[in-house]
Amino acid sequence: MTNDEVLKAYEETHALLKGHFRLSSGRHSDRYLQSALVMQFPATAEKLCGALAGKIKSLNPQVIVSPAMGGLFVGHELARALKLRHIFTERNKDNDAMELRRGFTVEKGEKFFAVEDIITTGKSVKESIQVVRGLGGEPVGVGCLIDRSGGADKVFDIPVRALATLKVESWEEKDCPLCKQGLPVVKPGSRAKF
């Protein structure tokens, strides 16, 4: 799939909106991304993750790892496409630490690929990698459907595979050009990925 085809799939399912948004960080932006809206359609999820699978096959992972919640569906569909298993890490409600729970295990030296829906700062998926690495797993790469970090390959020391990239600008309210144009601002229904 081309970059435009991926973004089109997001736009068609309203997972990528253009407008004037107030993000959870308080910053304003002209784009809003919510992967759950594209992933609610299994056929589209299968297509996107199948395309991503083609980009990571040569890294030969043995298991797919993702951070909950954002990475769950992409991790599962990617594992399906590569005929691997998928495990996920989740945050401990008490101390916010990322953990591998539910009886999931990794073998010593088992090669894993870590995946997230959107990479913004890469914080969650980076913590997943640390956890699984700490248990003996060997990361062969990290990826996402959309890299909106401005270059995830600068954030990680392992190979990065993004299905698409998107440059998203955001501003402090006082500097927002859309506010200056007098456009009404919208707060999206759920925590935005910005």
Kindly write down the DSSP assignment for every residue of 130-181, as one continuous string. Answer: HHHHHTT-EEEEEEEEEE-SS-GGGT-SS-EEEEEE----EE-GGG-HHHHT
Minimum CB–partner distance for residue 169 and Zn ion (Å): 11
What is the residue type of 91? R
Sheet holding 85-91, edge to edge: 98-100, 85-91, 63-67, 111-119, 138-147, 160-165
Name the residue with the smallest CB distance to Zn ion. 176
User: Contact between 179 and Zn ion (CB under 5 A)?
Assistant: yes
Interface residue with Zn ion among 23, 106, 176, 192 (CB under 5 A) is 176
User: Contact between 76 and Zn ion (CB under 5 A)?
Assistant: no
Complex with Zn ion: residue 84 or 179, whichever CB lies closer: 179
Looking at the DSSP assignment, which residues form a beta bridge with residue 33?
A: 16
Interface residue with Zn ion among 36, 69, 140, 178 (CB under 5 A) is 178
Complex with Zn ion: residue 53 or 176, whichever CB lies closer: 176
Nearest to 77 by CA among 93, 89, 88, 92: 88
User: Contact between 69 and Zn ion (CB under 5 A)?
Assistant: no
Minimum CB–partner distance for residue 170 and Zn ion (Å): 10
Minimum CB–partner distance for residue 176 and Zn ion (Å): 3
Q: Count the residues of the shown chain that bind Zn ion, applying the rule CB under 5 A.
A: 4
With a CB cutoff of 8 Å and minimum separation 6, the contacts of 59 are 111, 113, 140, 141, 159, 161
Complex with Zn ion: residue 28 or 148, whichever CB lies closer: 28
Q: Scanning residues 21 to 40, which ones bind Zn ion (CB under 5 A)?
A: 28
**Which residues of this chain interact with Zn ion, rule CB under 5 A?**
28, 176, 178-179
